[in-house]
Amino acid sequence: MGETTVVQGVGKCPKLPWMVEFHSTADGKIFNNQLDAAFAPTFLEHLARLQEKSRVRRKRLTQFSVIIPPRISIEHIEEFLKAGMTVALIRMDYFTVDEIEEMVAMIRNVVDDFGKKIGRVYPIAIGLDVSEQEIKTGKLLKPLKEIELEKGQTTKIVAKPEFANRVSKEFIYVNYENIADVVKPGDSLIIGDDNIRMSAIEVARDIINCIIEKAGLLTDNLSVKLPNVPITLPKTESHEKLIQIKEKCEIDIVFVGPSKLDMVKETLGPTVLIIAKLEYASSVDFFDSLVKKSDGVIIDGEKLMATSKERVFLVQKSVIANCNKLGKPVLAAINCHAVTKSIVNDIANTVIDGIDGLLLPPDPDLIESISLICKAAEGAVYQKRLFDDLVSLKPPPIEPIISIAISAVEASFKSNAAAIILITTTGRSAKLISSFRPRCPVIALTRFGRIAKQLMIYKGVIPIFYVQKTGDTFKENVEKSIQLGMTFGKVNGYIRMGDAVVVVFGTRNNVGFKNCMEVVFASEYDTIPDDDEDL
């Protein structure tokens, strides 16, 4: 893995491109990143060739969205960034409009400071989670900060305002005054991210007696979900709140359920990415219409309540595959607080199935552990079959830009490229290349901040946002921009001297279409523009 080799009579000299080492062991029997298994002739042979000692790539391709909890500190946000957070997700129902404005400003400030430390603009995306149902619990009776609800104990659900700030083990307030009219004995209630589950055993006037079926910690203002229970909530409140957020905050991505998808699109306009949430089995039934209306999909297997546990994995695999076919980003929510063997298998299989990103709880140590799992799983994908399947969905004639994307990805396979570098205006070329699932990172240079942030949700894409002009002519600008991407890859350890790199670019100014692809080799020394303060 060294950078030099000894030539008799000459001493040490830089390795030439064909001398780059691709093996994990000195005997040359095991390739890095499961290269031998990735392109095996059959699936069975692919599995047989997987090697535990095969080194993983330095750069994780799976994107990480992280839930931002209330009362988070600046230090915690920076820890999330160091751990690899690419999308900061704020849950709209947990905060007031002013609190969301403060939260967004704080995240942006922390990201700016983080960017100064790493020497570049870090274009993290701000996501907003719009709840499908706006039912929440009240505040705990002071001075309690949390209440442990144990399996088998009973409690009462009430909607009386006098209990709004007096939640206890015996009485849990919810802000839906008609809840006793719609819930029947046997119906389930789910509270909070810990998925506290309880079942109604008796409904008497405005009190619902429940038994705890899954234990968990109860805190202030947790969400309450009623699977398969028809409810009617006023839409004006969330609509007005969303309008205020749009006016005060710059939101890049919105996660929203089916019932509010149209309202959110109409309110926020086309510049915001819409990610449809599939939390209930009924959402899966309308998958085709949802995916057409949205820019991507997120699935939470824990919340597919009308689906039996034994069949949840079938739904998830189908959703991921259909999104891969359509070229839409697909994310999966991970609900855990520790990495067990079963969690490792779940995450690894989700990555191998073709996920773009994961939605994770706010735990830096957990994020780092899951990052290692993702790196190992990304190398274990049967790339030959996946790529052939994706290309077969694009029979000729196809758009030239799609053919360039296919060619770039295939060239990266054949040359075992360390990265694909491209310049993008709208982000489409980066999204297309990502959709054909290259094994290396896609370094996408753009002058548009919103595009850079939104690319953070696509698998393998590393957006580089730069504002300074890098050349006097269009050709010089392209060359120096690509050199900037090359230098970035080398500084961060994604590209070694002598590595093959696929470069995609256009030959005409002010035209989004990319019509050129080259395979180049990283030199020993690279340069970036002298005046790089604003890069």
Tokens of 445: 């240079």
Residue length of the chain: 535
pLDDT of 295 strictly over 60: yes
Helix 383-392 to helix 400-414 angle (10° resolution) is 170
Q: Among residues 286, 371, 282, 287, which one has the least CA distance to residue 321?
A: 287
pLDDT in tens, 159-188: 999 999 999 999 999 988 889 988 999 988
- Helix H or strand E segment including 171: strand 171-173
Contact 331, 355 (CB under 8 A): yes
**Residue labelled with tokens 């699977």:** 227
First to last CA, the chain: 31
Per-residue pLDDT of 519-530, as tens digits, reads: 999 987 654 444
The burial of 515, by beta-carbon neighbours within 10 Å (0-12 exposed, 13-18 middle, 19 or more buried), is given as: middle
Confidence tier at 534 by pLDDT (50, 70, 90):
very low
- The percent of residues above 70 in pLDDT, for the chain, comes to 87
Task: Summarize pLDDT for 203-235 with one digit per residue, the tens.
Answer: 988 899 999 999 999 999 898 888 767 666 655
Helix (H) or strand (E) run with residue 278 in it: strand 273-278
Encoded amino acid at 56, one letter: V
Cβ(283)–Cβ(297) below 8 Å? no
Q: For residues 377 and 355, is the Cβ–Cβ distance under 8 A?
A: no
Beta bridge partners of 24: none
What's this model's pTM, rounded to 2 decimal places? 0.80
Q: Are 270 and 143 in contact (CB under 8 A)?
A: no
Q: Are 464 and 451 in contact (CB under 8 A)?
A: no
CA 206 to each of CA 3, 177, 191, 231: distance values in angstroms, whole numbers, following the listed order: 74, 8, 19, 16
Q: Which residues pair with 218 in a beta bridge?
A: 147
Nearest 5°: the CA angle 461, 465, 469 is 135
**Alpha carbon distance 453, 148 (integer Å):** 39
What is the mean predicted confidence (pLDDT) over 264-268? Answer: 90
Q: How far is CA 145 from the centre of its chain?
A: 31
Q: In the structure encoding, which two tokens stand for residue 176, read together?
A: 């839906």
Please report which confidence band the pLDDT of residue 43 belongs to, taking 50, 70 and 90 as the band edges: very high
Of 529, 515, 436, 449, residue with least CA distance to 482: 529
- What rounded mean pLDDT belongs to the chain? 87
Judge residue 326's burial from the number of C-beta atoms within 10 Å of its C-beta, 0-12 exposed, 13-18 middle, 19 or more buried: middle
> What is the structure's pLDDT at 361?
92
Interval 395-404: pLDDT, tens: 999 999 999 9
| Secondary structure element (H or E) that encloses residue 47, with its range | helix 43-49
| Alpha helices (runs of H) in 217-259, residue ranges in sequence order | 236-248
Query: Max CA-CA distance within the chain?
Result: 95
Q: Which two tokens stand for residue 293?
A: 């209306």
Cβ–Cβ contacts within 10 Å for residue 52, how many?
6
Around Cβ 401, how many Cβ atoms within 10 Å? Answer: 18
Bridge partners, 421 (sequence order): 443, 503
Nearest to 434 by CA among 341, 512, 329, 360: 329
Burial class for 122, CB neighbours closer than 10 Å (0-12, 13-18, 19+): buried
**What is the Cα–Cα distance from 196 to 157, expressed in whole angstroms?**
13
pLDDT reading at 286 higher than 80: no
Q: Which domains does the chain have, with CATH numbers?
A: 63-133+234-380 (3.20.20.60), 147-225 (2.40.33.10), 385-521 (3.40.1380.20)
Of the candidates 155, 156, 162, the residue with the CA atom closest to the CA atom of residue 141: 162
- DSSP code of 366? H
What Cα–Cα distance (Å) separates residue 387 from each residue in 44, 116, 336, 408, 484? Answer: 17, 38, 32, 12, 29
Show the tokens assigned to 235.
Answer: 């839409």
- In sequence order, what are the residues at sequence separation of 6 or more whose Cβ sits closer than 8 angstroms to the Cβ of residue 416? 22, 35, 500
Confidence of residue 306 (pLDDT cuts 50, 70, 90): low
Pairing of β 196-204 and β 188-191:
antiparallel
Confidence of residue 4 (pLDDT cuts 50, 70, 90): very low
Q: How far is CA 414 from CA 39, 411, 418, in A?
A: 10, 5, 11
Other beta carbons within 10 Å of 230? 6
Number of H helices, E strands in the chain: 17, 23
DSSP 410-460: HHHHHTT-SEEEEE-SSSHHHHHHHHT--SS-EEEEES-HHHHHHGGGSTT
Question: Which position has the higher pLDDT, 211 or 96?
Answer: 211
